[in-house]
Amino acid sequence: MLRWLALLILVALPAWAEEVVLGLSQNEVAITTSFNGSEILIFGAVKREAPMPEGELGVIVTIAGPPEPVTVRRKERRFGIWVNTEAVEIDGAPSYYAVASSAPLDEVLGIRENLEHRVSVTSKLNAVGAPDTVLDASAYVAALIRINTAAETFQLLEDQVVVDEDTLFRTRIRLPAALTEGAYGTRIFLTRDGEVVANYETTIDVRKVGLERWLFTLSRENPFWYGLMSLAIAIAAGWTASAAFSVLRN
């Protein structure tokens, strides 16, 4: 009985099943005092248990930073000056989000699949949303996307995933200098004619190390001593600059 059940399960599985075998140039990013960004090489292969199926193969890679609340403010011109008026806080927006694809995103991923897996930055943020009391929430979401795109913390990298022989793939994604500490969720999607046929998830850990970690921990756990140390450094730096200026003037 069990043998027949196993056979039925195998028959029910799609013959075109494919899997992702992934590699990362690094799965940890260390933030130091001289950190100015990092480039991650993501590479892998498509594992198949059957002949390659028909349909155009697409590969999509996403990296999402830790979620955090973001306040988006609307500015209006009043009495000749620009002032902040309404403000909306969007909970759970990714601090960083990048999407790389082997072709234009709308060619390798269908609309329904995009909404289901929340791949594009728009679908990602629309899923987070704004409070129900805001009537034009989409305008605030669009503003957040525009601001973060300009700052390169939101990236759309179309045609940046190289696929060789419909089997091997690779891409490079640059992480900016202003990174939030935490786990960066990394997803890889394989698509055929716009439908997701396989996906894989892993994480990249971003952590402060060395002096940066010590200062960060001190400021959180011992703010009094951190303040005294900052004050002492400022006084010493001012005195040194003043002494150097006096020597040069004489």
pTM exceeds 0.85, yes or no = no
Percent of the chain with pLDDT over 90: 24
| Bigger pLDDT: 178 vs 100 | 100
Q: Which residues of 158-179 are buried (b: 16+ CB within 10 A; e: fewer)?
A: bebbebeeeeebbbebebeeeb
Mean of pLDDT values over 53-63:
89
Mean of pLDDT values over 120-146:
75
Query: Cβ-count burial of 36 within 10 angstroms (0-12 exposed, 13-18 middle, 19+ buried)?
Result: exposed
